[in-house]
Amino acid sequence: MISVLMPVYNEELYLKEALDSILNQTYSNFELIIINDCSTDATEQIILGYSDPRIHYFKNERNLGIVGTLNYGLGLCKNKYIARFDGNDINHLDRFEKQINYMETHNNVVACGCYFTIIGKEDQGAIDIASNPDDIRCDMALYSQVPHTFVMLRNDVICSKGLRYKEEYRYAEDYKLWTELLQYGDIFNIPEILGKVRIVNEGISVAHIDRQRQLSDRVRKDYLLQLGIKTNFTLGEIVGGKLTKEQVKETLINYYPFIIRCKPYNWIRKNYVSCLKKYMKQLGRFERVKELRKFNTILSIKDCLSIVIK
């Protein structure tokens, strides 16, 4: 029923704990596809130390990197669902059971994630991501809403639509895939903590954070364009103070048709309102009143008054 896709590269420190959290799942009808991307540590020895028949071990002839390895792995997955997992994280033992139960009763859902916590130098509480599909569609324009290491995918959609991770979006390849999946169905996150993500100093996201931010901005623009909204800049660039006043205005206007479709509590709508208020503070009182006519449908009366009488 499930193909678990697990790429590994130099994971010796935490691999056993990660593997045990898969092999001891309460739902046991799965195959575990492990692809070793030319590790130079004891990763292979740890894997070969297991005799569980559900493990299918592959080793790349050369280092393909995360995107190449994931795409190779997708081609190996033959079951109804694909469950992603990384070699240094931890599953709660009922993760698969809860995700498959949900997806079996919600055929419109093409991907299912969950809430999670972060462990590392300092443990953190649950990460705040959207749960229901409508909120995820909105907030995906702000940042990725799906925990890659804990996602379960509907394999027939991946195969029939020819979906793959894109090398040109490396370090944000998962974010790009989620936005493409939203063209074919809904994404849902189970509002329960079903795993722990381990942050290590050598991790991809830590080592390449600047590149990841650039590519994430590109994904946001692509996603908005997919929704029929063309913008040259993102809300993040407004927050970062990188844009001129005219560029800020242009961006706010471009986002507006999308924002009014989002519920008031969505993160992206809150972020947008914050950017709008920041922009208004740069204007004279007469200009503020004039500009408010364009945006007042998403501002509360209190917000409007505070902007006008500033």
Sorted by where each begins, the domain ranges of the chain are 2-209, 229-308
| C-alpha–C-alpha distance, residues 130 and 111, integer Å | 13
**Hunting for tokens 């997708």 — which residue is that?**
74
pLDDT digits (tens, 9 = 90+) for 209-255: 888 888 999 999 999 999 888 889 888 888 888 899 899 989 998 99
Token pair recorded at residue 122? 């300092």
pLDDT on residue 206: 56
pLDDT band of 204, cuts 50, 70, 90:
low
pLDDT digits (tens, 9 = 90+) for 99-138: 999 999 999 999 999 999 998 756 566 777 899 999 999 9
Helix (H, G, I), strand (E, B) or coil at 70: helix
Give the chain's end-to-end CA distance (angstroms, integer): 60
**Hunting for tokens 């498959």 — which residue is that?**
100
pLDDT digits (tens, 9 = 90+) for 6-41: 999 999 999 999 999 999 999 999 999 999 999 999
pLDDT on residue 264: 76
pLDDT, greater one: 215 or 277: 215
Indicate the average pLDDT of the chain. Answer: 90
Token pair recorded at residue 290? 């004039």
Superfamily of domain 2-209 in the CATH hierarchy: Spore Coat Polysaccharide Biosynthesis Protein SpsA; Chain A (3.90.550.10)
| C-alpha–C-alpha distance, residues 213 and 236, integer Å | 10
Please tell me the pTM assigned to this model. 0.89
Helix (H, G, I), strand (E, B) or coil at 98: helix
pLDDT on residue 259: 87
CA proximity to 211, closest of 176, 172, 264, 261: 172
pLDDT digits (tens, 9 = 90+) for 131-169: 999 999 999 998 899 999 999 999 999 999 999 999 999
